[in-house]
Amino acid sequence: MRNSKAIVTLAIAQKYLEKWKKWCQANWQKYTERHGYDFICIEDPLDDSARAPKRSPSWQKCLILGEESVNKYDRVVWVDADVLIDSANAPCIVEGVAVDKVGAAPEWATPNEQLAAEARDRLFETWGITDEKNEGGTYAKYGIRAQFDRIVQDGIMVLSPSHQRSSLEKVYHECEEKGLGEMPWLSYELLKADWVQWLAPRFSTVGSVHKALYYPFLLHKPHTKPSYFKRVQGKLLSKGMPGRLVDRRASECATTALINTFFLHLSGTAGEMRLVDLESTSWRDWRPG
């Protein structure tokens, strides 16, 4: 019997599909079995027009609610293909979200807005970004005349095909790529419609934000390549530290990040999924020697 809710993702390039299958598929399966979801990985483009390849594939999340394999569900949880789930402990994400609302967390709000702002400053310094200090500035940067001070982080969203399909498709067909993908446009449309019900930040923790806040020693130095790392015969070394110890420290931190949250979104750092020990379900399990 088909479940009434599904987790859906999109992995339409071979490299993304391979990573999703290797690191996410079994991890998500455990979560879906615990909470009674089906899950669907869409492997083919939902739009094959000449316009589609000119934009990031992430735009096509706006088309999923019209997909035949998806639109029969009462609730659809969109999850980007670079997300890991604390499958043993994360509660059901749709619980408490009204059926006519979109459940989502705000960008720059994990674990709270004050600490996220500190993490953002560290990341912007690392990345060499000197403007775009607030969400309102992000809207303006892309020509959106918005009155909102938050942006919806659309990597994880609770949706309803019967309520939000037309709005998501409107964003896809009427908005254009301006360097940041679909997120500011989709956020604006959802907030304007008063559809957003904010999720607890633990349902949408961005890995780079968590790292900047709690493990800033893993960030690269500002405006430089990671000079304290160097490659010798294919192995990663850090000022004489064996590569295995560097990887172990990074693995400890990445695993702890997942244990501390529910959904860990490794946006832009999907390669770090390999660092997470997915067998650890508690801090009691993770006691490296």
Residue 226's pLDDT band, with cuts at 50, 70 and 90, is: very low
Token representation of residue 176: 């254009």
Q: Residue range 133-150: average pLDDT? A: 76
Tell me the CA distances in angstroms from 267 to 89, 192, 210, one per residue in order.
Answer: 22, 26, 12
Task: Give 256's strand partners.
Answer: none
**CB neighbours of residue 147 within 10 Å:** 9
Residue 247's pLDDT band, with cuts at 50, 70 and 90, is: confident
| Cis amide linkage into residue 201, ω under 30° from 0 | no
Can you tell me the distance from the alpha carbon of 187 to that of 154, in angstroms, rounded to the nearest whole number? 8
Can you tell me the distance from the alpha carbon of 119 to that of 111, in angstroms, rounded to the nearest whole number? 10
pLDDT at residue 133 in the model: 54
How many helices (DSSP H) and strands (DSSP E) are in the chain? 8, 11
- With a pLDDT cut of 70, the percent of the chain lying above it is 86
What values do phi and psi take at 103, rounded to 5?
A: -85, 125
Task: Give 206's strand partners.
Answer: 265
Which domains, ranges and CATH numbers included, belong to the chain?
A: 5-275 (3.90.550.10)
Residue 233's pLDDT band, with cuts at 50, 70 and 90, is: very low
What values do phi and psi take at 215, rounded to 5?
A: -130, 55
- The helix/strand/coil state of 226 is coil
Closest CA to 285 of 263, 252, 249, 248: 252
- The helix/strand/coil state of 85 is strand
Whether pTM > 0.85 for this model: the answer is yes
Residue 179's pLDDT band, with cuts at 50, 70 and 90, is: low
